[in-house]
A and B are shown apart, each in its own frame.
Chain A
Amino acid sequence: MSEEIVFDCLHAEIVNYCLNNSKDQNDLGTLEYIGFTTGYRLIERLTRDVGRFKDELETMKFICTDFWTLIYKKQVDNLRTNNYGMYVVQDKAFRFLTRISPGSKQLEQAPKFVAFTCGLVRGALSNLGINSTVTAEVQTIPACRFHIEVNRG
């Protein structure tokens, strides 16, 4: 769809902006934060016509299925939980990695293409009352695995 390419271009520019502006080229904090604040606001709209979530599992299911499909235009390929607050989402063709050619050099670059999404998911969960840590692991482009750890503290 046409707006998707606009978003993909904007995302690429945001990645460049954040890395060029930080003192440390490996500092993904700003990028993650831009994702966080976007996710926080976006979920307010996306859950407007949805019934009240009854628990953490129901909220997580919403994020990993409905939310994911709306944003990334495809269903996640696998969703698992250990039932102790750890959720693993696997996407075999992650949107922001599909335009990158596979290779070891590109693999090094992969973290910068997933940081925004880590923030996006963390922000959405945060507004729904779930405090979490989200990390991503890229082994072969364009596949990606997101680890969402709920901090139940």
Chain B
Amino acid sequence: MSRQASRLDAKKVNSEFLTLTYGALVTQMLRDFENVDDVNKQLERIGYNMGMRLIEDFLARTSAPRCLEMRETADRIQQAFRIYLNVQPTISNWSAASDEFSLLFDTNPLTEFVELPSDLSNLRYSAILSGCIRGALEMVQLEVQSWFVQDQLKGDNVTELRVKFVRRLEEAIPAGED
């Protein structure tokens, strides 16, 4: 029997399994909350939590040294997208002060099959991604803001995720130590 499905590409199946499960979560939330903004917030929150966990795996996997400036951070984020979602966003649109940049995606695996109904134009379907970046960076003492500037789901040519440096956080001192 197993000869039948062996033709299926395991990597593709993994990615589709993730995409479909995420889609099921988004539609469930739309049933649970009346307000689309609440759904956006929840998705961002879930991404934030996931980012906090994924960064540990990322650091262990890449044994990456500490980033000293945003340009290094941008490269690491790009690398993380390649490792975890098998996509390679382009880094661009740096601000003059080098504290703000964009990640441009030609494809977004999360939205591969999605066609947004017209009444959901304010849904930030992929909000989990911006949440993930925020959560992961907070674990390495970087507070950032992250939001979508363009989205292919809304008819834009690319999906653009903006990341802005806010401040460095103090090392958290473990409780019980002076």
Chain A contact residues, CB within 8 Å of chain B: 1-7, 9-14, 16-18, 21, 30, 33-35, 37-38, 41-42, 45-46, 49-51, 58, 61-62, 65-67, 69-71
Residue B50 at the chain A interface, CB threshold 8 Å: yes
Residues on A with C-beta less than 8 A from B27 are 37
The residue of chain B having its C-beta at the shortest distance from the C-beta of A64 within the complex is B1
* A110 CA / B5 CA spacing, docked (Å): 30
Cross-chain pair count, CB within 8 angstroms: 99
Residues on B with C-beta less than 8 A from A58 are 1
A14 and B17 contacting across the interface, CB-CB below 8 Å: no
A49 and B7 contacting across the interface, CB-CB below 8 Å: yes
Residue B96 at the chain A interface, CB threshold 8 Å: no
B8 and A38 contacting across the interface, CB-CB below 8 Å: no
Chain B contact residues, CB within 8 Å of chain A: 1-2, 4-5, 7-8, 10-11, 13-18, 20-25, 27-29, 32, 42, 46, 49-50, 53-54, 57, 61, 83-86
Assuming the A-B contacts A13-B50, A45-B16, are A2 and B83 also in contact, with contact meaning beta carbons closer than 8 angstroms in the complex? yes
B4 and A50 contacting across the interface, CB-CB below 8 Å: yes
Residues on B with C-beta less than 8 A from A16 are 49
- Of listed A5, A16, A71, residue having the most chain B CB within 10 A: A5
Given A41-B24, A62-B1: 14 more A-B contacts, CB < 8 Å: A2-B83, A3-B15, A5-B57, A6-B85, A9-B53, A10-B21, A14-B25, A17-B25, A34-B24, A35-B24, A66-B4, A66-B5, A69-B2, A69-B5
